[in-house]
Amino acid sequence: MTFRTALTGLSLLPCGALIGAEFSLLPERQRIQDPAITEASGLAASPADPTFLWVINDSGCSADVHLTETNGTARGKIRLQNVANIDWEDLASFTLDGQNYLLIADTGDNNARRKSCKLYIIREPRLPAPGKTLAGTGQPSWQIEFTYQDGPRDCESVAVDAQAGKIILISKRTQPPQVYEIPLRPPQKRGVITLSPIGQTAVKSPGGAIIPMYDQPTGLDITADGSTAAITTYYGVFLFLRKPEESWAQAFARPATSLGTHQLGQAESIAFSKNGKTLYLTSEGAQAPIARFQR
C-alpha cells in the first residue's frame, strides 16, 4: 500500500542508543542497490548464509524473489512460475527437516474484498558463487489457500514458527489487530482453509493516536528457536517474548517491548538473522535503506 508521512518529528531515540531488550539501532546504513526493488514488502534472512537477504515487491510487480547481500549488493532473482503477485505482503525463511524454505505471503487486501488468500512455500534456491548472480525460475513446493471466518482481512504480517509447525498471521486495519495461525503443513485434501482468530494484540507508539495506521502491524518475523516475535509498524519495532509453555496467542496478548523508532519512511519488512542477534528492516521506495538492530 502507499503511505507517506514525515517521521523525524517522532524520532525520540537516537541511533546507537541502547533500546529495549538489549538491542541497539546501528547508525550506519546500506541501501538496496537492485533497481527492480522499489516496493519492498517482505524481507527474510537466508538460513544458508548470513550475508544474504531475500526481498519481495508489493502488489502489481512480477512474481520475483530477489536476492541481495546485507550490504545492499544485488545478487539476482528467481521468478516463480504459474504464480501471480496479487498483493505480496510478507516473506519468511525457515528450516524444516533439514531443508531451507521461503514462505511468500500473498495476503494483502487493502479494501477487504478478496475471497481467499494464498501462501506459497518454495525451497530456498541455491545461493550464487562469489561474483555470480542468481537467475532462473522456481515452483512452489506447496501452497496454502485460506479465508477468514470473520470476513476478509488485510494482512501484511506473516511469520513461521517451524519449531511449532505453525504460520502466524496478524491483521492490519482492524482495531485491535487480530492474531491467526495455520498449520505449516496442512493435510493435502483440506482445500481452502478457514481461519478463526486465536487472539489479538496491540502496539502503542508516540503519535499513534493522531496518525492513521501508525500502530498497525506492517511486518512480522519469529526467531528460528520460536522464542521471540518482532513486529514492525510505520513507527518502530516491538518484541514479544514467548515462554516455552505458552501459545502465541498468550504471548501476543502481553504488552510488547518497544525497541523505539527505526527511522524509516515506510517500513513494511522485518527479518531476524538465523541466530536471532540481528533484526533487518527496509522500507518501500527505490534504493531503500537497510536498518539494523543489533543485540
**pLDDT per position as a tens digit, 83-123:** 999 999 999 999 999 999 999 999 999 999 999 999 999 99
Task: Indicate the pLDDT class of residue 59, thresholds 50, 70 and 90.
Answer: confident
Which DSSP letter does residue 198 get? -
- Please give the span between the terminal C-alpha atoms of the chain, in angstroms, as a whole number: 30
What is the rounded distance in angstroms from the CA atom of residue 127 to the CA atom of residue 75?
9
pLDDT(188) > 90 = no
Do residues 88 and 59 touch, judged by C-beta distance below 8 A?
yes
pLDDT for 287 beyond 50 = yes
Which one, of 36, 246, 258, 283, lies nearest residue 156 by Cα? 283
For residue 128, what is the DSSP state? P
* Calculated CA dihedral for residues 262, 267, 269, 275, nearest 10 degrees: 0
For residue 17, the model assigns a pLDDT of: 33
Average pLDDT over residues 172-178: 95
Q: Any residues with CB less than 8 A from the CB of 248 and at least 6 apart, and which?
A: 161, 164, 166, 168, 179, 181, 198, 199, 229, 242
Q: Rounded to two decimals, what is the model's pTM? A: 0.92
Q: Which three cell numbers stand for residue 182?
A: 495455520
Check pLDDT > 70 for residue 6: no
Burial class from Cβ neighbours inside 10 Å (0-12, 13-18, 19+) for residue 201 reads buried
pLDDT top residue among 209 and 171? 171
Which residue reads 504471548 in cell numbers? 251
> Is residue 60 over pLDDT 90?
no
What pLDDT is stored for residue 39 in this prediction? 95
C-alpha distances out from residue 144 to 58, 115, 129, 183, 208, Å: 19, 14, 32, 9, 34
CATH of the domain spanning 8-283: 2.120.10
pLDDT band with cut points at 50, 70 and 90 for residue 262: very high
Residue ranges per domain, the chain? 8-283
Residue 30 has pLDDT above 60, yes or no: yes
Whole-number pLDDT of residue 21: 52
Predicted pLDDT at 146: 97
pLDDT of residue 270 exceeding 60: yes
Q: In angstroms, rounded to a whole number, what is the distance separating the alpha carbons of residues 153 and 28?
A: 36
Q: What is the mean pLDDT of residues 155-160?
A: 98
> Per-residue pLDDT tens for 65-81?
999 999 999 999 999 99
pLDDT at 221 over 60: yes
189, pLDDT greater than 90: no
